[in-house]
Structure 1
Amino acid sequence: MTRHNWFARTPRGRGWTPITWQGWALALALVVVPLAFGGALGATPSVLAGAAYGAASAFALLPLLWMAILKGPAPRWRYVGQDD
Structure 2
Amino acid sequence: MKEEYNFNLTVPLADLDTAIVLLDEARTQYPDMRLSRKPDRHGNARFYLCFPFHGVRTDLQFMAWFMDRNTSNWELFGPNYGIWGLS
- TM-score where L is the length of structure 2: 0.31
Higher helix share: 1
- TM-score where L is the length of structure 1: 0.31
State the structure with bigger RCO (CA 8 A, min sep 6), 1 or 2: 2
Larger radius of gyration: 1
